[in-house]
Chains A and B, each alone.
Chain A
Amino acid sequence: MRRIESSGWGRTLRSTSWEFEPHSRSELQEFIADHDYSRGVITHGLRRSYGDSSLNIGGVTIDPAFLAEISFRPDSNIVTVGAGVSISALEKVALTHKLFLPVVPGTGLVSIGGAIAADIHGKSHHTTGSFSAYVRRIQMLYSDGEIRDLYPEGPSMDHFWATVGGLGLTGIILEADLQLIAMNEPKVIVEETRVKNLEEMLSSLSASDERFEHTVAWIDLSGDFRGRGIVGKGNYLPHNLLGTTPSSLTSQTIKESTTLPFPKIGSKSLINKFTVRAFNEMWFRKPLTNGISSIDSFMHPLDRIQNWNRVYGNRGFLQYQFVVPEGNEDFLGHVLKTMKDLGAASFLGVLKKFGEGSRGHLSFPKPGWTLALDIPSQIDHLERALNSLDAQLSARGGRIYLIKDARLNPEFVPIMYPKLEEWRAIRHNMDPRGMWQSDQSRRLKLC
C-alpha cells in the first residue's frame, strides 16, 4: 500500500488514504478477509464523483483497474465486464460487435463499478431508465472475503438493489453482466433548438421526450438567468437510413469527437462573470447542429476537453444536481434567481426531464426535472444559499444526487431518500464489520 492524496472531480476536498492496487481477485480477497482497520475501505473508479464519495481519509482506497476483462457471449446481447473498465472503453469494444450501452452518462470516463454504485443516468432516462435497468448480474466481494453473485430478482435482490446507487458502501463490485442494445451504425440524428427562457425550455423538453430517445438542455447561467438555452435532441440513426443521404439531412455534418488537453493555468480560476458571460453568449449563438453526429460526440460532450475541471483553479467547484417532482417548475426558476442573486455565473447548466426511477434504495432519478449546475466554490454566501435550497427541495419531495454532492447536510438525507433506513438494515446485514466507509458516508452519516 502507498499513501496517496486524492480529490473528487470538483477538487474541493482533498483526502489522504492508503491506496491498495491488487493484481488479482485472490490478492484482493485475501486483503479484505484479513483487513482489520477501523477507518475502513472504499473502492474508487476513475474519480468522476464530484465530492467525497470515493475518498477515505485515514483509511484504505482500492484501485480496481485490474478488473479489466470484457467478454461477449455469442448470440447474445449480454456482456460480462470488469468493474474497472470505463464506459468509453466498453463502448469502443461493444461497437465492434455492433452493440452499445443503453444508458451512458455525459462522460465516458466512468468505470462500470462507479456506474453501478451511482446508478448513473443519461440523456435517455425518459426512455431507458437508469443504468441499473440493464444490469443482469453483479459479482461482488463482501467484507467477509466471499464473492457472491447478485441478481435483480430472487433471493439476492435486496443486496442487488442496495448495491445499485449504494455508493460502493455494500462491497467491492468485481464484474457485471450488462444487457446491451443492437447498434449498426454509431451515429445519432441530432436536432437542436434555441429557446428564450425557462418556460420555453420546459415545454420543448416535454414535447421532445415523446419523439426522441435522447433529450437534454443546456441552460445559460449568466446575464439575466432567465433560462434561455439550447435544447438538444437525438435518435439513433435508424437502420433504413444507413448509407443514404436523405434530403431532410442535406445540412448534415459527421462530427468525430476529438479530445484536447486543458492547458496548465496554475492555481487560479478562469471563471468569473465576464468570462462566463462571454462563453455563454457565444455558445448560445453557436450554429445549431441539425444532422448526423457521431455517437461519441453526442453522448460524451464533456470528454472533448481533458481535465476541464481545472478551469476552476485550486479552490475547485461544486455541482449542485437535484431532481424536483413535476408541478414544482417554479422551484427551477427560484434556483436560477438564487444563482443570479449570488452572482454564481456558470458555463455548465444542464436540465432534463426524468422518467421512472429504479428500485435502488439510494438511486437518484425519480420522475421530475433534474437540473445540474457547476458553481465555483468560493462564491460568497453560497453555502447558506444551497442549504436553504436543500430545505425547500426536500419539502417539495426532491433530492440531491449524492454522487455529485460535497456539502449536503446529513439531516436532509433521510427526507430525500426515504428508503435510507431500509438500505441501512440491508447494508448492515451485508457488512456487519462496517468495513465499507468513505468520507461521504461519514459526512452524511449514511452507515
Chain B
Amino acid sequence: MLNAFHSPQSIALIGATSQIGQAIVRALPMENLNTCFAVARHQEAASLSLKQILPSRTKLREIEFQAGDTQSREKAVDLLFAEGDLDLAIIAIGVLGNDPERDESANALDVMNVNYIASGHLMLLIVERMKHQGHGQVMVISSFAQTRPRVDNFVYGSSKAGLDFMARGLNDTLIGTGVSIHILRPGFVRTSMTRLMPDAPFTVDPDVVGKLAVKLLESGDTVGYAPAILKVVASIFTLLPRNIFLKLSNRK
C-alpha cells in the first residue's frame, strides 16, 4: 500500500537485469519500500545488482521466469500478488534483435515475442490483478523508436509501437479503477545492450531515464519521453514528409 507520501511499499521489476529498470528502481522513494520482486531469467545477476540498490530492510523476492513462456509469465504474476498488494510493476523486458549468432528472421521473431507478446501479456495479467486490488501503477518501457518506422529498426520499432498502442488503449479502460499505466519512451540509452552501437542524438544514461520515469509516475501522466526533448522531436518526425524523413533516418 502507498503511504501518505505516495511512496510504494511493494514493487516488481520484471526484467530485473534491465539497466533501465534498475535505474527506475534506484530513482524511486525507498523509505516505505518493504518488498521488491526481481523477476528475471538470470536471477543471480539481477539479485546482485538490486541488492546494491535497495535498502537493507527491503526484502528482495526472486522470481525466475522465461519471458517467452506463457505459463512461466502466469506463474510469475501469481507470485507477485501472493503476499499482498503490489503498488508498482515495471515491465522492463525487451530485446533489440541484434544477436549476431541468429539470422534476421529469428531475431525479428524474438523481438516480436518478447517486446510485444510477452510484455503485453504481462501487462494484461498484472492490470487484471491490480483492478481487483483497486489500485496500482504499471510502468511500461516503450521507445522513441515507435514514433515512426525507420529502415534500421522497424521491427524493434513495430514491437514497441504495438506495446505502446496496447498500453494506451488499456489505460483508457482503467479510468475510475484506481489502476494506471504509464508509458515511458526513451531514446537511445547507453546500456550493455547498446554498448556496440554508436551514440545517437539525445543519448542519455540509464539514471536520467530512471529519474524521468519516476517523475512520470508522480505526475500521473500516461506518456513521457526520456529525455523530455524527444517529445518535440517525435512531433516533428511524425510530420516530416517521407522523402525527408528517409534521408534523415538513413544518415549515418
A442 at the interface (CB under 8 A from B): yes
Q: Flag if B32 contacts A439 (CB, 8 Å).
A: no
Q: A382 to B6, alpha carbons, bound, how many Å?
A: 13
Q: A37 to B235, alpha carbons, bound, how many Å?
A: 46
Q: A382 to B7, alpha carbons, bound, how many Å?
A: 12
**Minimum distance in angstroms from B28 CB to a CB of chain A:** 12
B85 at the interface (CB under 8 A from A): yes
Instruction: Give the chain A neighbours of B7 by CB distance below 8 A.
Output: 383
Partner of A58, one of B9, B57, B178: B178
Q: A39 to B1, alpha carbons, bound, how many Å?
A: 13
- A57 and B178 in contact, given A410-B34, A442-B84, A443-B9 (Cβ under 8 angstroms): yes
Q: A13 to B3, alpha carbons, bound, how many Å?
A: 7
Q: Type the 1/0 row for A362-394, where 1 means its CB is closer than 8 Å to any CB of B.
A: 000000000000000100001110010000000
Partner of B3, one of A3, A17, A407: A407
Q: Flag if B2 contacts A383 (CB, 8 Å).
A: no
Instruction: Give the chain B neighbours of A105 by CB distance below 8 A.
Output: none
Instruction: Give the chain B neighbours of A272 by CB distance below 8 A.
Output: none
Closest to A378 in B: B5
Q: Flag if A57 contacts B3 (CB, 8 Å).
A: no
**Minimum distance in angstroms from B74 CB to a CB of chain A:** 19
B197 at the interface (CB under 8 A from A): no
Most chain A beta carbons < 10 A, residue from B4, B6, B29: B4
Q: Type the 1/0 row for B127-146, where 1 means its CB is closer than 8 Å to any CB of A.
A: 00000111100000000000
A406 at the interface (CB under 8 A from B): yes
Instruction: Give the chain A neighbours of B6 by CB distance below 8 A.
Output: 12
Q: A409 to B29, alpha carbons, bound, how many Å?
A: 14
Instruction: Give the chain B neighbours of A10 by CB distance below 8 A.
Output: 4
Instruction: Give the chain B neighbours of A410 by CB distance below 8 A.
Output: 34
Closest to A388 in B: B31
A318 at the interface (CB under 8 A from B): yes
Instruction: Give the chain B neighbours of A122 by CB distance below 8 A.
Output: none
B176 at the interface (CB under 8 A from A): yes
Instruction: Give the chain B neighbours of A12 by CB distance below 8 A.
Output: 4-6
On chain A, which size bracket covers the interface? 20 to 34
Closest to B133 in A: A58
On chain B, which size bracket covers the interface? 20 to 34
- A51 and B1 in contact, given A57-B178, A58-B133, A409-B32 (Cβ under 8 angstroms): no
Q: Flag if A383 contacts B5 (CB, 8 Å).
A: yes
**Minimum distance in angstroms from B220 CB to a CB of chain A:** 12
Q: Flag if A443 contacts B132 (CB, 8 Å).
A: no
Q: A3 to B131, alpha carbons, bound, how many Å?
A: 14
- A407 and B134 in contact, given A57-B178, A383-B29 (Cβ under 8 angstroms): no
Q: A341 to B134, alpha carbons, bound, how many Å?
A: 37
Closest to A3 in B: B176
Q: Flag if B133 contacts A407 (CB, 8 Å).
A: no
Instruction: Name A409-444 residues within 8 Å CB distance of B.
Output: 409-411, 439, 442-443
Instruction: Name B5-53 residues within 8 Å CB distance of A.
Output: 5-7, 9, 29, 31-32, 34
**Minimum distance in angstroms from B54 CB to a CB of chain A:** 15
Closest to A317 in B: B4
Q: A443 to B132, alpha carbons, bound, how many Å?
A: 17
Instruction: Give the chain B neighbours of A303 by CB distance below 8 A.
Output: none
Instruction: Give the chain A neighbours of B29 by CB distance below 8 A.
Output: 383
A59 at the interface (CB under 8 A from B): yes
Q: Flag if A443 contacts B178 (CB, 8 Å).
A: no
- A411 and B4 in contact, given A57-B134, A58-B178, A442-B85 (Cβ under 8 angstroms): no
**Minimum distance in angstroms from B31 CB to a CB of chain A:** 5
A127 at the interface (CB under 8 A from B): no
Q: A38 to B85, alpha carbons, bound, how many Å?
A: 12
Q: A410 to B85, alpha carbons, bound, how many Å?
A: 14
Q: Type the 1/0 row for B143-182, where 1 means its CB is closer than 8 Å to any CB of A.
A: 0000000000000000000000000000000001110000
**Minimum distance in angstroms from B221 CB to a CB of chain A:** 17
Q: Flag if A439 contacts B1 (CB, 8 Å).
A: yes
Q: Type the 1/0 row for B172-203, where 1 means its CB is closer than 8 Å to any CB of A.
A: 00001110000000000000000000000000
**Minimum distance in angstroms from B55 CB to a CB of chain A:** 11
Q: Flag if B32 contacts A383 (CB, 8 Å).
A: yes
A16 at the interface (CB under 8 A from B): yes
Closest to A57 in B: B134
Closest to A381 in B: B31
Closest to B57 in A: A411
Q: A445 to B34, alpha carbons, bound, how many Å?
A: 11
Q: Flag if B31 contacts A387 (CB, 8 Å).
A: yes
5 smallest beta-carbon distances between A and B, as pairs? A58-B134, A406-B4, A12-B4, A443-B1, A57-B134
Q: A57-B133, A383-B5 are in contact. List 20 more A-B contacts (CB 8 A).
A: A3-B176, A10-B4, A12-B6, A13-B3, A15-B178, A16-B134, A16-B177, A17-B134, A39-B133, A57-B1, A57-B135, A59-B134, A377-B5, A407-B5, A409-B32, A410-B34, A411-B57, A439-B1, A442-B1, A442-B85
Task: Please list the residues of chain B having a beta carbon within 8 angstroms of any beta carbon in chain A.
Answer: 1-7, 9, 29, 31-32, 34, 57, 84-85, 132-135, 176-178
Can you show 11 pairs from A to B with CB atoms below 8 A apart?
A: A3-B176, A13-B2, A16-B134, A16-B178, A39-B132, A51-B4, A58-B178, A409-B31, A409-B34, A442-B85, A443-B3
Task: Please list the residues of chain A having a beta carbon within 8 angstroms of any beta carbon in chain B.
Answer: 3, 10, 12-13, 15-17, 38-39, 51-52, 57-59, 316, 318, 377, 382-384, 387, 406-407, 409-411, 439, 442-443, 445
